[in-house]
Structure 1
Amino acid sequence: MNKWTKGSWKNFPVQQQPTYNNLEQLQRELQKIKQVPPVITKEEVQNFKKQLKEVSQGERVILHMGDCAERFTDCTPQIITQKQIFMEICSEIIQNITGKKVLKVGRIAGQFGKPRSQEYDEQGIYNYKGDNINSLDINDRTPDPQKLYQGFLCTLSTVNIIRGNFINFLDDHRNYQSIKNQMTDHFRTLSNHEHVVDVIDLLDKCQDSFNQMYPSEEEIEQHKKCINNRQQYDQESENKHQILLQNINEHGNNLKSEMMRTSHEGLILDLEEAQTFETSQGEFYNLSTDFLWVGLRTNQIDGAHIEYVRGIKNPIGVKIGPQTTEEQFLSICSIVNPENKNNKLIIIPRLGAKNIKNVLPKLIQTKIKNNLNFIWMLDAMHGNTETENSFKVRKIDNIISEIKDFCQILHQYNQQIGGLSLEATHEDVTECLGTGIDSHNLCTNYKTACDPRLNGLQTLQILYEFTNYHNQLINNDTQNYLNQIEQQQDSAYLSQNKSPKQQFQMKQTQNFSSVNA
């Protein structure tokens, strides 16, 4: 295999790259990005890999969620905070129903570029490819290199807002709970769907438990006064204060370790190269994000995108479709994850409800036969896209069907259910069909920049279905195991209480059965 460098991808066929008219301007914008300190640190990426190891061992589950394509206009503290709160709500649902920790990964802070199946639309107009390439405005579709730097600034701002919010959540957790409650109360007013109501009731119960565990503002103030006035600080106050500190510190440490991670599709390779840094140990990290993935349109094993990601230390996702061959699948695994680690590669099937039963078992069998290590995470959206009244749509029933088949098939082969990837928003959009949205009200609030997203209510319903089906599979296993134990105990008891002749006859019957099996 050829020697890897940050720019070795340029020696390979490359797909889905914008064509710029002003190459000198492109180099100026890339140089500006290279001169700015990185968005994140290598230590953050390394910590993310530790969390992925827990996913591979079944201790965590990934929730990968966010917009299909981020907009520069959404790069505001208010909107980013709402996205962050929505991620917290959704992860609480998974954690409280399954009992597993959730690795929260947003499609956020860099998801500004989109691959398209066609370069031009039916009218011959250059397609919108994301805010860091061109504009939704049909009069501003020429790729503009200055948008790359604008996208970088939005990425940097978004990460800083996410970090700042988390510090604020730690300092004033009751205010954080209040903001979260406002969102869940809003969802409650919109729907009487049984599963949505069940999920919100669950969140309310979690809030009650939190209120009992976490000290009130009055308690905190009282203990602060005790610290400042030591003569009133008796042993009982000391004990209460230590318990208070322990609760705050434990909860704070949990929050710090569970901060939402960022991710985007590694699409524009000039941009990704500009954000790739070499460490003193000679290792390379893309320090614009925790997690990059390669899309289905750019996952060619002899292509530039696979060449680029094979050389960086970040965890990498690769999307797999119905047409992906066994040879390509094996090559992707060996190229991207040559050391066969369990926290390096995330395979993301995007198969669709119609294809998953035929395709996924073959992929799993290939994985098992070749002793491959990676994490399975389902893209439940892109294989289920249809057209309805000239709108791109996705049907909730198809999404749920694919999720359940994904869980059932992985469980059948004793594979860990690694995670779920959803294009979703907290907003009350009308882009996917189901949970109160039909073809008649589809146009009411259809506002996606590219592909249809789940709204808040639809997301809650899907997570309810996912988590409960996940638990059902585990509970069935537990019950089957208990039944086997009970049968073994019954057989042992009967054997002990039979005459020697009866025991001999039973043994002969068992031997006969095993021979004929």
Structure 2
Amino acid sequence: MTPAFAPSLPLPSRDRATLRARLSHTRAPVAVLGEAPRPVSAPISHPWTPSSWRTRRALQQPTYPDQEHLARVENTISHLPALVSPGEMRALKAQLGNVALGHGFVLQGGDCAESLEETSEGVTDNIRALFKMAVVLMWGSQEPVVKIGRLAGQYGKPRSADTEVIDGVELPSYRGENINGAPFTPEARIPDPNRMLLAYNRSAGTTNLVRALASGGFGDLKRVKEWGMDWSMGTAKGREYMATAERIAESLHFMETCGVSPQQPVMTSTDVFTSHEGLLLPYEQALTRMDEETGEWYDCSGHFIWIGERTREIEDAHVQFAKGIANPIGVKAGPTMKPEELLRLCDELNPTNEPGRLTVITRMGAGKILQGLPPLVRAIKREGRHVVWVSDSMHGNTFKADSGFKTRSWNRIMTEVRGFFAVHEAEGTKAGGLHFEMTGKEVTECVGGTRKIKAEDLSQRYESLCDPRLNQSQALEMAFEAAEILRSQRRNH
């Protein structure tokens, strides 16, 4: 990954205006070592600014009791260093562009909602689990795997209602650690702007830890066996992972015997990008910066930002904000998405049809994937749009167990994954990746899997702040199942 980005403080508004006048969005892009050529952007035909979303309907935003306090915090964050760099975002867009054109696979995974109390050990566990899954998918598909963590910013969560009632008491809904607290008390549930500063600081630390792990030897392919040492070998998938790791180690040893050094950077380091739902718009705006090299605006809170199922209306604030930033972005597509809606979103969010700019993250549900996905795929294929198709098989398969715990079934999650691959195979399009809520811990939040977690087991280690996550065993089992599908498709072609 490219070095950490530590820019100077933002220019005063009058200087930014002068700079924008000098820099044209249509000029030839400057070549950057190690990056793929970037297509020339079309002129922006409407006046977009990082704050133009404020003229639109903004759903899922908290109501802060002290607006002056909110403004002070926004101003403070706007003068803090960016968390990620434009160069890193362009590198990710290039990798996603390859996937959109049929080469490679995306693995996006991590916490449902991050905790401000997360330890470095917890982050490391999640990265280790992501690495294991990526190695399995890469070995099975024989394609590069783009690794994107749901971390370093995944704090805000959309809610189905603004308030919740427990035992006759009504309080604001918990919206994530960057907005309010999870305890059901009036004090905890008051939206607090200072939480955005806490989220920024925690995101900065997490981003730097991820960079260190990815580039400092933790991602060395020679360590694939070590990544499995902490995981019980009492499961069939655990033993299968170690067998795969052994084959990779043998291949590396053979290369070394032939005189090919396994110490090349491609073997000893990797890229791990950060992502989160761009839900809390005041925070996202405060971290939006103009790249002096290109004159483009980037949301520097994370490499990859997505728009959720509840906030993807064309005329609303989240789409308005996302269409003006140059990050690679995603949009969730649930079972109610119509082909014409998706094409309009493509027009708004990727008018130049740039490969890698737009990822469509489908979240249909196991019972609806085979009916809901084909019309969308056909419309995109018919119109020649470049998108990366990624399956979020988690959110459409949530239910409440008799014990009261919100949970998901491993079998239903896998059914949606299989349906996702089957649709793309039938339509002659590229199944581009998988998006999971998962953790490197052996929690008990989703039922099923090789460890056969049952509904009555959920209370043993239910640690999620919001939605249930696959544990390490279940996530790796999912990766093996997907790798087998990819291997089978490769043989058939």
TM range (shorter): 0.7 to 0.9
Q: Confirm or deny that 1:207 pairs with 2:249.
A: yes
SS in 2 for 1:122: strand
Please list the CA deviations of residues 189-215 of structure 1 after superposition, one character each: whole Å capped at 9, or x if unmatched. Answer: 4x43x3443233212332344456569
CA distance in 2, matches of 1:114, 1:30: 19
Query: Does the alignment pair 1:3 with 2:47?
Result: yes
Using structure 2 for the length normalisation, give the TM-score.
0.85
Instruction: Using the TM superposition, name which of 363-372 and 292-301 deviates more.
Output: 363-372
Residue 239 (structure 2) pairs with residue 153 (structure 1): no
Match in the other structure for 1:68? 112
Letter in 2 for 1:420: L
Q: Is the partner of 1:342 in helix, strand or coil?
A: coil
Aligned residues: 440
Tell me how far apart the structure 2 counterparts of residues 473 and 159 of structure 1 sit (CA, whole Å): 35
Distance 2:469 2:339 in 1: 31
Between 376-385 and 197-206, the greater mean CA deviation after superposition: 197-206
Provide the secondary structure at the position in 2 that maps to 1:169: coil
**Residues 80-479 of structure 1 aligned to structure 2 (within 5 Å):** 80-123=123-166, 124-139=170-185, 140-169=188-217, 177=223, 181=225, 183-189=227-233, 191-192=234-235, 194-210=236-252, 246-248=261-263, 250=264, 252-256=265-269, 258-280=270-292, 281-389=294-402, 390-435=404-449, 436-476=452-492, 478=493
Contact 2:126 2:439 in 1 (8 A): yes
Residue 18 of structure 1: SS of its match in structure 2? coil
Distance in 2, matches of 1:57 and 1:300, equals: 27
Q: Are residues 3 and 79 of structure 1, via their aligned partners in 2, closer, same or farther at CA, if it must alter by over 3 Å?
A: same
SS in structure 2 of the partner of residue 97 of structure 1: helix
How do 1:36-75 residues align onto structure 2 when only pairs under 5 Å count?
36-74=80-118
RMSD between superposed Cα atoms in Å: 2.0
Contact 1:188 1:200 in 2 (8 A): no
Query: What letter is aligned with 1:429?
Result: V
Indicate the percent of aligned positions where both proteins have the same amino acid. 31
Partner Cα separation in structure 2 for residue 273 and residue 414 of structure 1: 39
Q: Is the 8 A contact 1:408 1:473 kept in 2?
A: no
Structure number with greater Rg is: 1
- SS of the counterpart of 1:187? coil
Separation in 2 of the partners of 1:165 and 1:202?
A: 22
Match of 1:481 in 2: none
Distance in structure 2 (CA, Å) of the matches to 1:91 and 1:344: 22
Bigger mean CA deviation after superposition, 198-207 or 12-21: 198-207
Task: Tell whether the 8 Å contact from 2:214 to 2:272 is kept in structure 1 after alignment.
Answer: no
- Deviations, residues 169-223 of structure 1 (Å, cap 9, x unaligned): 17x959x82xx6455233334x43x3443233212332344456569xxxxxxxx
Give the TM-score normalised by structure 1: 0.81
For structure 2, the 5+ residue unaligned runs are 1-44
In 2, the alpha carbon distance for the partners of 1:73 and 1:66 equals 16
Gaps of 5+ in 1: 216-239, 479-517
TM-superposed CA distance for 1:384, in Å, is 0.7
Whole-Å Cα distance in 2 between the matches of residues 162 and 473 of structure 1?
33
Q: Deviations over 1:84-110 (max 9, x none)?
A: 222111111111111111100000100
